[in-house]
Chains A and B, each alone.
Chain A
């Protein structure tokens, strides 16, 4: 028996499929065809089957099925919980880049306007300066410089709101990973891996250096020292750890993250037993005396 989108053909007998385009598209996905041997369908069978009268009608019907099927498939892929989070965290990181670049530029511009001004000894990072420029702009009214400064502060506010949302969404999508490393960093791991499925399939060693690509390839090519940590450095337990155990903390943390990502992908809910155990193990790795050994 050969099945195709418009029906089943068996020993010259054809049973047309009745149903709308969406139902037909769903059926197409369930048809399993062996490719060896394989004979492609013949559109004229659809005519003898009574599905359509001519070529134009055949194509019109088929197109409805194809469009319905592809629309459905796109919708399903976008419905995965991690897809939107991926865009959110990438937007967040790009806003950071943009505001930093623009703030430095505005600060430079401001210094040209005020030849006697210097940022030395003032403890004014660029974003603070930008804020004061934008406030002065509001009071007195100013030119483009003030407007740009105002836009940057607006963007910074949007960033704060977005960061909160990313964090909350990450806790929902990847509860175990977020519990270990925090929502924001967890979301960044997700973004670098390219999705929860991909993250859950990475080995711990890859998670450990995720985001340290340049250092990793420098290590492979020129035998420079291997990177000890990538994005996970952003977590306080790694960057606050004493230098001599930092690599170890990163390794242990990455090991637990690999398990957490798998739990997130396959179970999708927080597992307290695992989390307590993992937290204790990571904390132990951070102490410099010999207690960090695996028991």
Chain B
């Protein structure tokens, strides 16, 4: 990952969401992007230039644009039409962003478009986050990575975040994934956890 001093950055065309630039690099703000927060609080995985990424919950394309700066191609799946309008604008300016308006819990909707990927990144605010991730693991190559951004408050508001975190880890491990690293994203994001696994 590229850093300028302590600041995480990426190399690409700027001005996507008014981000600052530093020495010609785009500053990747950990308060806005959970993936950036993961790199800063712990170990995110490297994003080599030949990597293919399936990104579930692409939203406005903020994080997508940074990921796309590093990798070969990003398949960006988003369900809601409003953020999709922004995502489309990002895609029009970046050759390697593939916007897909589809429901991440129905991978058959976008199966004809997506190839085998090396990284499955998931950031959806759904109660069955782990199940959605597992359904999409069919796109993940052997030895590929799954990064799951767990919004504990969206899974179950009545449960303690730590409990949701444990339950999700159990689901992922019992499905045969190996958890490499799991961490909370404080102080950047409250009650959000990141889980990195391999298949």
Judged by a CB distance under 8 angstroms, whether B64 is at the interface is: no
B99 touches A67 (CB 8 A): yes
Q: Output the least CB separation between A53 and chain B (Å).
A: 16
Given the known A-B contacts A40-B138, A70-B84, are A31 and B112 also in contact in the complex, defined by CB atoms under 8 Å?
A: yes
A2's nearest neighbour on chain B, judged by CB, is B112
Contacts A3-B112, A31-B112, A66-B91 known; A40 to B139 CB distance under 8 Å?
Answer: yes
CA distance A224 to B112 in the complex (A): 54
Write the chain A residue with the least CB distance to B98: A66
Query: What is the size category of the interface that chain B forms with chain A?
Result: 20 to 34
Interface residue stretch chosen among A55-63, A189-197, A213-221, A254-262? A55-63
Tell yes or no: A18 within 8 A of B by CB: no
Give min CB distance, B78 to chain A, whole Å: 8
Contact A63 B97 (CB under 8 A): yes
Beta-carbon contact of A71 and B88 below 8 Å: yes
Is there a chain B Cβ closer than 8 Å to A47's Cβ? no
Does B42 reach chain A (CB closer than 8 Å)?
A: no
CB contacts (< 8 Å) of B96 on chain A: these are 59, 63
Per the bound structure, the CA–CA distance linking A88 and B81 in Å amounts to: 18
Instruction: Considering the complex, give the chain B residue whose CB is closest to the CB of A25.
Output: B113
Neighbouring A residues of B138 by C-beta, 8 Å: 35, 38, 40
- In whole Å, how far is A44's beta carbon from the nearest beta carbon of chain B? 10
Residues of B within 8 A of A77 (CB): 81
Complex contacts, B139 vs chain A, CB 8 Å: 40
B154 in the interface (beta carbon within 8 A): no
Interface string of B73-91 (1 = CB under 8 A from A): 1000000010011011001
From residue A55, how far is it (CB to closest CB) to chain B in Å? 8
Q: Give the chain A neighbours of B128 by CB distance below 8 A.
A: none
- State whether A78 and B91 are in contact (beta carbons under 8 Å apart), knowing that A40-B138, A40-B139 are contacts in the complex: no
Known contacts: A40-B116, A67-B88. The answer to whether A74 contacts B101 by CB under 8 A is: yes
- Contact string against A for B residues 104-119, beta-carbon threshold 8 Å, 1 for contact and 0 otherwise: 0001110111111100
The answer to whether B112 and A5 have CB atoms under 8 Å apart is yes
A33 at the binding interface (Cβ < 8 Å): yes
Q: In the complex, what distance in Å separates the CA atom of A74 from the CA atom of B80?
A: 9
Q: Which residues of B contact A (CB under 8 A)?
A: 72-73, 81, 84-85, 87-88, 91-92, 95-101, 107-109, 111-117, 135, 138-139
Q: List 22 A-B contacts (CB under 8 A).
A: A33-B111, A35-B138, A40-B111, A40-B116, A40-B138, A41-B114, A41-B115, A42-B116, A56-B95, A59-B95, A59-B98, A60-B95, A62-B98, A63-B91, A63-B98, A65-B113, A66-B113, A67-B88, A69-B100, A70-B87, A74-B81, A74-B101
Extra 13 A-B pairs, beta carbons < 8 Å, given A40-B117, A70-B100: A4-B113, A5-B112, A28-B112, A35-B111, A38-B111, A38-B138, A40-B115, A56-B95, A65-B113, A67-B99, A73-B84, A77-B81, A78-B81
Which A-B residue pairs are the 9 nearest by beta carbons? A73-B101, A66-B98, A70-B101, A74-B81, A33-B111, A4-B112, A40-B116, A77-B81, A70-B99
